[in-house]
């Protein structure tokens, strides 16, 4: 067996391959293809007009940009996405390297976007230029992961070295926590939890340095985690709550707020949901009584920049000197404002009982010297180990919660895959013999109708999931047939095709059929929120396009959402419709072989799950063959011809 240091060194190598692959893929699209292809891939907007410029959180520059035509899907541009902004040459590339400005997306739709720009504002002349905007890779996260790996490889701390060896399966897990909790206190803390949630909570509070919570879909994983947080805060302990995605972290912040626990959310304000903006560090800094001094400094800085940008009909040495002096004053005032902001931020973080951040965000400068009594990593089944190790530096005690049978970390490099980078922190620790006694699996689920739950429980959870007695029942209209329905489109001519300019798969005929069935659900169940899921981005685009072309689409817009599987993890809807998309003579299922994605898609539904796919194609894969057989045996199987003949 390789030593823990050798294993971490291998992960460091894998990380380099993954970063190179991500940069190569994006570069191949942006630098090697025409503007038309780049637009089709969703990685470039060009040309754009800058409609407005002002200041927002932290004195950052906000640009409001607009496309001259409908760009289709938002694509790579969503809240938090890093972007490059530049004036392009005739080839669609930056006129010069120095001309590229860096920013981050605040919000975006098909034709407009708010971008938070790094550095100083644009000049008056620049505001009227034609610009191009590209997606860009964020190397900051890779640098932070590499730094964390280096820390754990070279640590001289005895406790950290023991923990490192245990995590990598090369030593005993240190038992550092010997907390005490009276039976009365524990009963009060766990009163609203089921037996297994209580069992895990007691273990997490009383015993190990590392506790693992395996929470299949709908089993109340986050509920148990938040009960732990509440109790730790009651004991005057400081916690760092983390997760791989901003959406997952925001759910933790909201959950804390509902339980009366005030959490400070670390992260760029443009990456935070509207619901948690008031918990963001920037917002808390702005609400501080000392922040009025920052506003005054920024006001004076803005006035100085206006002098810099002032037009002079006769521009000479005096005007040049005035402009240079004003520029120097503006920068000096801004540095003073930033320094005071950082002082306020450090004080807020230092006094917070609970701090929330993404795994990468745990390396934020506001947390640089902070230590916590415990680190919690939620959705740890999606966390790359190098990312998890960033936050695990902050405490000798750690909680990991998630499900290794749902979406894994997304790895693009085949070399990185071969080197084990896809194995999540949770999966790695769960297979370690030294962590085995620290794992609790929740089995009572509160989301899905038992018929929807059954296939997932059978294939992914050893048949151990049980529907809670409190699970609400919903009588479905006859037109929906059953809680779980599989519609086989074999022989209907629903043939797949490749999206023009990309390798993503779509199936226009299946999309039309899926939309018809989705409308039936929306009309039959006026209270239902419906999610329409496809494994391929191109199929999501096609579904949206056809939906927007329907005469009555506006009346359903607030009740329907189209997205890939990844976008739906952690969410639920009254009904879920899945367009499996693949239909070909070769029986190739491609991306669908990642069965964990299918598991995620199937377990988002509360009352009704509808799956549409070509059984002749899917049946060549053993998993989908068994899925279709199970549908036949349970009366959930139907042929698309039942609807096509009827029409």
Provide the pLDDT confidence category of residue 449 given band limits of 50, 70 and 90.
Answer: very high
For residue 594, give both structure tokens.
């990642």
Q: Using an 8 Å Cβ cutoff, are 422 and 408 in contact?
A: yes
* High-pLDDT (> 90) share of the chain, %: 49
Quote the pLDDT of residue 393: 92
**Measured distance CA(15)–CA(584) in Å, rounded:** 35
Task: Convert the pLDDT of each residue in 396-447 to its tens digit.
Answer: 899 999 999 998 998 989 999 999 999 999 998 888 766 666 789 999 999 9
72: pLDDT strictly greater than 50: no
For residue 227, give both structure tokens.
């009960």
Closest CA to 507 of 352, 618, 614, 590: 614
144: pLDDT strictly greater than 90: yes
Q: Which residue has the higher pLDDT, 202 or 639?
A: 639
- State the chain's maximal CA–CA distance in angstroms: 88
If residue 278 lies in a helix (H) or strand (E), which one and from where to where? Answer: none
Quote the pLDDT of residue 349: 93
- Which residues make beta-bridge pairs with 119? none
106: pLDDT strictly greater than 80: no
In order of 451, 481, 559, the CA distances from 521 in angstroms are 18, 11, 11
490: pLDDT strictly greater than 50: yes
Task: Convert the pLDDT of each residue in 107-134 to its tens digit.
Answer: 777 678 888 887 778 877 788 787 888 8
Closest CA to 239 of 386, 377, 383: 377
**Measured distance CA(425)–CA(215) in Å, rounded:** 15
In order of 74, 215, 526, the CA distances from 222 in angstroms are 30, 8, 29
302: pLDDT strictly greater than 80: no
Please list, in sequence order, all residues whose beta carbon lies within 8 angstroms of the beta carbon of residue 38, skipping any fewer than 6 positions away: 29, 30, 44, 46, 92, 134
Provide the pLDDT confidence category of residue 310 given band limits of 50, 70 and 90.
Answer: low
Q: Which residue has the higher pLDDT, 352 or 331?
A: 352
179: pLDDT strictly greater than 60: no
Count of beta carbons in the 10 Å neighbourhood of residue 644: 12
Length of the chain: 647
Quote the pLDDT of residue 501: 62
**Measured distance CA(62)–CA(83) in Å, rounded:** 13
Provide the pLDDT confidence category of residue 188 given band limits of 50, 70 and 90.
Answer: low
Quote the pLDDT of residue 73: 45
pLDDT, mean of residues 343-354: 92
pLDDT, mean of residues 492-498: 91
Closest CA to 577 of 599, 604, 558: 604
Quote the pLDDT of residue 74: 45
Quote the pLDDT of residue 601: 95
Q: What is the DSSP string of 502-548?
A: SS-EE-HHHHHHHHHHHHHHHHH-TT--EEEEESSHHHHHHHHHHHH
Provide the pLDDT confidence category of residue 461 given band limits of 50, 70 and 90.
Answer: very high
End-to-end CA distance of the chain: 63
For residue 317, give both structure tokens.
């040495």
- Which residues make beta-bridge pairs with 213? 401, 440
Please list, in sequence order, all residues whose beta carbon lies within 8 angstroms of the beta carbon of residue 261, skipping any fewer than 6 positions away: 229, 230, 233, 353, 354
Quote the pLDDT of residue 375: 96
Task: Convert the pLDDT of each residue in 245-291 to its tens digit.
Answer: 888 999 999 999 999 999 999 987 777 888 898 999 988 988 888 88
In order of 374, 377, 438, 440, 560, the CA distances from 198 in angstroms are 19, 19, 14, 10, 36
Quote the pLDDT of residue 59: 66
Q: Using an 8 Å Cβ cutoff, are 194 and 440 in contact?
A: no
Q: Using an 8 Å Cβ cutoff, are 547 and 515 in contact?
A: yes
Q: What is the pTM of this model?
A: 0.83
**Measured distance CA(335)–CA(263) in Å, rounded:** 28
Quote the pLDDT of residue 308: 67
pLDDT, averaged across the chain: 86
92: pLDDT strictly greater than 70: no
If residue 459 lies in a helix (H) or strand (E), which one and from where to where? Answer: helix 450-460
Q: Classify residue 315 as exposed, middle or buried by CB count within 10 Å of its CB (0-12, 13-18, 19+).
A: exposed
**Measured distance CA(76)–CA(94) in Å, rounded:** 19
Task: Convert the pLDDT of each residue in 607-639 to its tens digit.
Answer: 999 999 999 999 999 999 999 999 999 999 999
């Amino acid at each position: 067996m390789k030593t823990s240091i050798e294993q971490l060194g291998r992960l460091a190598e894998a990380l380099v391959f993954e970063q190179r692959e991500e940069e190569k893929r994006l570069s191949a699209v942006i630098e090697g293809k025409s503007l038309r292809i780049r637009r089709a891939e969703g990685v470039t907007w060009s040309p754009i007009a800058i409609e407005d410029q002002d200041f927002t959180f932290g004195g950052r520059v906000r640009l409001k940009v607009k496309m001259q035509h409908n760009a289709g899907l938002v694509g790579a541009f969503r809240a938090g996405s890093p972007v490059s902004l530049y004036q392009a040459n005739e080839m669609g590339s930056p006129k010069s390297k120095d001309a590229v400005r860096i920013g981050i997306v605040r919000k975006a739709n098909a034709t407009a976007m708010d971008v938070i720009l790094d550095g100083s504002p644009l000049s008056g002349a620049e505001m009227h230029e034609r610009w191009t905007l590209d997606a860009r890779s964020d190397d900051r996260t890779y640098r932070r992961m590499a730094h964390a790996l280096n820390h754990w490889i070279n640590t001289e701390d005895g406790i950290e070295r023991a923990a490192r060896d245990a995590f990598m399966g090369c030593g005993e897990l240190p038992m550092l926590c010997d907390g005490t909790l009276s039976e009365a206190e524990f009963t009060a803390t766990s009163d609203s939890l089921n037996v297994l949630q209580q069992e895990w909570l007691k273990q997490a509070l009383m015993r190990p340095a590392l506790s693992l919570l395996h929470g299949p879909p709908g089993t109340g994983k986050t509920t148990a985690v938040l009960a732990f947080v509440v109790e730790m805060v009651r004991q005057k302990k400081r916690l760092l709550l983390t997760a791989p995605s901003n959406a997952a972290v925001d759910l933790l912040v909201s959950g804390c707020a509902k339980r009366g626990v005030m959490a400070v959310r670390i992260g760029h304000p443009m990456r935070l949901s509207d619901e948690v903006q008031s918990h963001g560090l920037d917002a808390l800094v702005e609400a501080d009584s000392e922040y009025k001094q920052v506003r005054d400094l920024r006001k004076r800085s803005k006035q100085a920049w206006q002098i810099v940008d002032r037009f002079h009909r006769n521009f000479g040495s005096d005007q040049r000197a005035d402009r240079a002096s004003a520029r120097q004053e503006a920068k000096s005032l801004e540095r003073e404002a930033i320094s005071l902001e950082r002082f306020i931020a450090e004080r807020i973080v230092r006094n917070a009982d609970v701090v929330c951040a993404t795994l990468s965000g745990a390396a934020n400068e506001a947390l640089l010297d902070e230590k916590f009594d415990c680190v919690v990593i939620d959705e740890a089944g999606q966390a790359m180990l190098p990312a998890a190790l960033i936050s695990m530096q902050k405490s000798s005690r750690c909680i990991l919660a998630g499900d290794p049978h749902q979406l894994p970390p997304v790895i693009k490099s085949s070399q990185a895959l071969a080197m084990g980078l896809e194995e999540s922190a949770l999966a790695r620790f769960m297979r370690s013999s030294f962590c085995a006694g620290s794992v609790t699996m929740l089995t009572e689920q509160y989301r899905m109708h038992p018929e929807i739950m059954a296939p997932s429980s059978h294939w992914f959870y050893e048949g151990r999931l049980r529907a809670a007695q409190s699970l609400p029942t919903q009588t479905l209209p006859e037109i929906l047939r059953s809680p779980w329905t599989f519609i086989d489109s074999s022989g209907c001519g629903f043939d797949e095709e490749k999206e023009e300019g990309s390798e993503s798969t779509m199936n226009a005929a299946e999309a039309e059929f899926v939309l018809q069935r989705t409308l039936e659900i929306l009309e039959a169940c006026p209270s239902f929120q419906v999610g329409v899921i496809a494994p391929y981005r191109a199929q999501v685009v096609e579904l949206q396009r056809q939906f927007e072309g329907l005469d009555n689409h506006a009346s359903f817009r607030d009740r329907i959402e189209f997205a890939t599987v990844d976008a739906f993890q952690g969410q639920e809807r009254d009904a879920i419709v899945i367009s499996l998309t693949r239909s070909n003579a070769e029986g190739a299922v491609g991306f669908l072989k990642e069965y964990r994605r299918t598991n995620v898609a199937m377990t988002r539904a509360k009352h009704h799950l509808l799956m549409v796919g070509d059984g002749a194609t899917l049946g060549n894969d053993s998993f989908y063959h068994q899925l279709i057989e199970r549908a036949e045996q349970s009366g959930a199987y139907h042929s698309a011809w039942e609807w096509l003949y009827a029409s």
